[in-house]
Structure 1
Amino acid sequence: MTNRLHFVRLAALLAALPIGGCGADNSLATPACGTYADAPKNASSVVYVSATCGARDGDGSEERPFASIQQGIDASAQGGAVLVDAGTYAENLSITKTVEVLGANTRGEPENASIIVQAPSPYAITVEGSTVVLRGIIVQKPQGAGIWVQKNGNAVLQDSRIEGTVAVNEDGHGVMATDSGSIIVERSIIVQSEGAGVYANAAAAAKVERSIIVQNGGFAGIWVQSTLGEVSLVGNEITENAEGGITILGTRAIIVQNQVKNTKSRMSGELADGIRVIGDSLVGEAYVEIGGEKPESKNVIEGNDRVGILFSGEKARGIIVQNEVVANADDTKRGAGIWVQSSAGTAPNEDQSVGIRIAQNRVEGNHYVGIGVTNNARAIIVQNPSISGTIAGEIMANGIPTKIGDGLGVYAGASAHVDKNTISSNARVGALFFGAANMCVMTNNTFEKNNEGSIIVQNTDGLALDTNETDVPPVAPAFPVGVDTSDL
């Protein structure tokens, strides 16, 4: 399938979904009344379910299918398959055995999912202590969660949709993994959850691949916290979510080939970050790879209302390599394309180096600052072909409104090794070092067409600039430069 589903198409598809009940009766089914997926070759047993022609006294055969999915699950042997006819099923599902629940979605696309689950009680589908495949399922307006995997359960959701999850207590997530459960989401759509689209906390593992996570209303499109095993986010469209596109807390993760766009704040002045990575004494260590050495690994992080990518905390480590970070932060709140703060990058990496590595990215057209490093954080900023076009935004400096629009800013005891970057066409200066640590390095960079000068150095000692190529001389003003160096 193509991974793009235009919102007009999605809205029309949601409007057209049936909302009726199960419709099953006690009559015997007529032969071959349903349309079913092919039975998996390795299934230990196969049972059939049909909302339209199943019977409460059916036996699960194709000629006499069950009327409810739960009947099929209960009757299935360990390692079996439940083949479900298209229709609406007004039931909750509890799955505690290894089983596949499959709809007749022959083209493998979420818009062709045919099983509609309308659960009357919270947590529409629960998976515990077993390995489950769910394919071709639509979960409409679940309460608490569309799918909840826990207690060492493992669930794979494929070619499915979770729509409009309603909050219950603190939950309201499209899919949810806790208590050493693990979740894999493939080629699916999770839309308009009141919580997160995908939520994993103390989970065994989480993967989201080639899916659309859109318009989820709280926490983030994808929220991962203190997950012990592998977390990978590959090839997804993560758009128009509230507060965060992706939030990673105290977890190792790989993020490649995603589009993370247009994250909004729920209320004026609140968070609205494309990718947020936090590692500290409270949530634990976070190591996150955003992009990678191969060009095809790149993410596009665009149009998020505050920050494109944020690393925060003394246990936050990772790389930001070969991405497009463009048009992030608006003119209503202070933000940046990439922002590194609160001692992030000071814990040693596997090779014993320190610093968040920011390399080979296009960082263009962001408000306020292209790349900012502050409050004792450390960064390695090398070989970025474009840190450019930063748009001026207004802040208060000593009670005076001041506009800034800098390509690079290093502040408040932070340090950066800055080498072989092209820094151009920024609204104010190319690079600002303001109260930065003495260990900063600034070598072999090219500065072009920055509006008010190439480099400002203030309250920072020992920074040599003579190996940089500048089209105008560096500037060192004797007045406050107007910048808020506090954490975002």
Structure 2
Amino acid sequence: MRELRRWRRAVGTAAGLAAVFALAGASPAAGAERTVAAGESIQAAIDAAGPGDTITVAAGTYRENLRITTPDLTVRGAGADQVVLEPPAAPSPAAKAADACADVGICVAGTQDRPLTGVRIEALTVTGFARYGIAGTGTDAMTVQGVRADGNGQYGIGQQKSVRGRLVGNAARDNGEAGIFLANTVDEEGGALDTQGAVVSGNALTGNKTGVVLRRVRNLTVQANAASGNCAGMFVVGDEGLPRAGHLSVRDNSVTDNTRYCPAGSRLPYVQGAGIVLTGVEDTTVERNTVAGNTGDSTMSGGVVFFRSFVGVPNTDNTVRDNVLASNGPADIAGWDAGTGNSVTGNVCRVSLPAGRC
């Protein structure tokens, strides 16, 4: 918990924010400035906007689903503590027109053939939606920054079929599945997606089933996040598809006290006390993280856990090094599977199962 408090103080300083926001890249080219006042429709402003425009949303509570199909569009709230997006009383026309956007707070909708580029969503809260708070599909260089995603039925902030995403400096709390979720695709089978250097950085994740889930993706960095009070801190998930999930960096995160109990579902057995779980992935580096106080009795409980995927694919050629692991149970490093080429070196830890890796 001390690590979490230090992280929060750091990102609260101007220097800390500058470092986090720099990861989000340069601002899009200047366009028209549009303002939405309390009581007006954000969707109406989106529909009227062109590429490069910025929509500034004044303080207030807005009850609508939003759908963005315009490239290089910025939607910027007056602050996450001032602008709140909640579900409407009835489905919006946008939700009725596109099932992919139903029950989603902000739906950023492109395709893999025609990616939607450069969309930015900043400084607002998205809460209470049945599926996602914010969902991007078929996007390129989509940025979500300074957002709160609380109490959504499945995911706080998610992307699929998307590349070069930047999910930076957000807070995701009490979402039914993951606070942050990146995947090749949700509803189809296939090999891992090359995200072309996507970044998940500086986010605070608490009260979710899992803080961060990476499912069947490659070439991605998860850095300087704080995951605490979830059932699991981070899941890095692969399977038998080719290319395999992996070539990922999980570094400098604080993953502490993830001891909530989440009952079994259609995909997973019950989850409790899981820190960083690797399952069926390759060539992933887990380094310089603080992983502490993650305890439970599930098959995935422990600090850093190697878990054979549910279709029998082992972890191979992964590196776990220079982490500080303490008071995780049943072990700081647990569940070594039959994969080859895995390396565990330079960690500060006390207990491993099997023994000999601390």
TM-score, scaled relative to structure 2: 0.70
Q: Structure 1 residue 315 and structure 2 residue 245: aligned?
A: yes
Q: Is the CA contact 1:277–1:288 (under 8 Å) kept in the aligned structure 2?
A: no
Q: CA distance change for structure 1 residues 325 and 203 in 2, over 3 Å: closer, same or farther?
A: same
Question: Structure 2 counterpart of 1:260, which letter?
Answer: L
Aligned match of 1:421: 347
2:145 matched residue in structure 1: 209
Tell me the amino acid that sits aligned with residue 383 of structure 1. D
| Greater RCO structure (CA 8 Å; 6+ sep) | 2
Separation (CA, whole Å) in 1 of partners of 2:259 and 2:275:
7
- Contact kept? 2:109, 2:139, Cα under 8 Å: yes
Structure 2 residue identity aligned to 1:173:
V
Q: Cα offset for 1:184? A: 0.8
Provide the C-alpha distance between the structure 2 equivalents of 1:249 and 1:217, rounded to a whole number of angstroms.
Answer: 18
Alignment of structure 1 residues 26-37 onto 2, 5 Å: none
- Match of residue 271 from structure 2: 334
Letter aligned with residue 148 of structure 1: R
In structure 2, what is the equivalent of residue 431 of structure 1?
352
**For residues 319 and 87 of structure 1, do their structure 2 counterparts lie closer, same or farther at Cα, with a shift above 3 Å needed?**
closer
Mapped pair 1:177 → 2:116: no
User: Does residue 245 of the first structure (1) align with residue 179 of the second (2)?
Assistant: yes
Q: Does structure 2 conserve the Cα–Cα contact (< 8 Å) formed by 1:159 and 1:186?
A: yes
Q: Give TM-score scaled by structure 1 length.
A: 0.52
- 2:297 matches 1:380: no
Alignment partners' CA distance in 1, 2:41 and 2:287: 51
- SS of 1:93's equivalent in the other structure is helix
| Residue in 2 that maps onto 1:140 | 62
1: CA distance, partners of 2:40 / 2:125: 19
Q: Deviations over 1:7-27 (max 9, x none)?
A: xxxxxxxxxxxxxxxxxxxxx
Q: What is the Cα-based RMSD across aligned positions, in Å? A: 2.8
Task: Say if 1:373 and 1:414, in contact at 8 Å, map to a contact too.
Answer: no
User: Offset of 1:132 from its aligned partner?
Assistant: 2.6
| Deviations 1:84-118 (CA, angstroms, capped at 9, x unpaired) | 6x4523695165665xxxxxxxxxxxxxxxxxxxx
Cα 1:131–1:380 change in 2 (3 A) is: same
Q: Note closer, same or farther for the CA distance 1:82–1:245 as it changes in structure 2 (3 Å cut).
A: closer
Q: 1:407 aligns with which of 311, 332, 355?
A: 332
Q: Which runs of 5+ in 1 are unaligned?
A: 5-41, 44-78, 99-128, 264-271, 280-284, 292-297, 346-354, 392-404, 425-429, 434-454, 456-464, 471-488
Give the letter aligned to residue 54 of structure 2. Answer: V
> In 2, are the aligned partners of 1:273 and 1:304 still within 8 Å (CA)?
yes
Relative to 1, partners in 2 of residues 1:80 and 1:301: Cα closer, same or farther, differing over 3 Å? closer
Of 158, 169, 173, which residue of structure 2 is paired with 1:223?
Answer: 158
Q: Secondary structure at the match of 1:339?
A: strand
Amino acid at match of 1:172: D
SS where residue 89 of structure 1 aligns?
coil
Q: Is the 8 A contact 2:35 2:56 kept in 1?
A: no
Q: Which of 39, 44, 49 is the matching residue for 1:93?
A: 44
Provide the identity percentage: 17
Q: Kindly tell me: are residues 134 and 359 of structure 1, through their superposed partners in 2, closer, same or farther at Cα, counting changes over 3 Å?
A: same
Change (3 A) 1:92 1:420: closer
**What residue identity is the alignment partner of 2:173?**
T
Q: What is the SS of the residue equivalent to 1:309?
A: strand
The residue that corresponds to 1:361 in the other structure is: 289
User: Structure 2: how far apart are the matches of 1:325 and 1:337?
Assistant: 6
Structure 1 residue matching 2:142: 3-state secondary structure: strand
Letter in 2 for 1:419: T
Structure 1 residues 178 and 91: CA distance shift in structure 2, 3 A:
closer
What whole-Å deviation, never above 9, does each CA across 1:185-240 have from its counterpart, x for those lacking one?
Answer: 1222222222211100112331111222212222x101100113x21111111111
Q: Name 2:225's counterpart in structure 1.
A: 299
Q: Is the 8 A contact 1:308 1:329 kept in 2?
A: no
Q: Which has the larger displacement, 87-96 or 357-366?
A: 87-96
Residue identity matched to 2:339: A
Specify whether residues 96 and 237 from structure 1 end up closer, same or farther in structure 2 by C-alpha distance, changes over 3 A only: closer
C-alpha distance 423-131 of structure 1, shift in aligned 2 (>3 A): same
Specify every segment of 5 or more residues in structure 2 that has no aligned partner in the other structure, as ranges: 1-8, 13-28, 185-194, 239-243, 263-269, 296-300, 309-313
Number of the residue aligned with 2:126: 190
**Which has a greater percent of helix?**
2
Cross-structure match for 1:157: 75
Partners in 2 of 1:325 and 1:92 — Cα distance? 37
Query: For the structure 1 residues 140 and 406, does the alpha-carbon distance in structure 2 shift closer, same or farther, using more than 3 Å as the test?
Result: same
Q: How many residues in Structure 1 have an aligned counterpart in Structure 2?
A: 278
Q: Which runs of 4+ in 1 moved over 6 A?
A: none
* Cα 1:157/1:83, change in 2 over 3 Å: closer
**2:169 is equivalent to residue 235 of structure 1:** yes
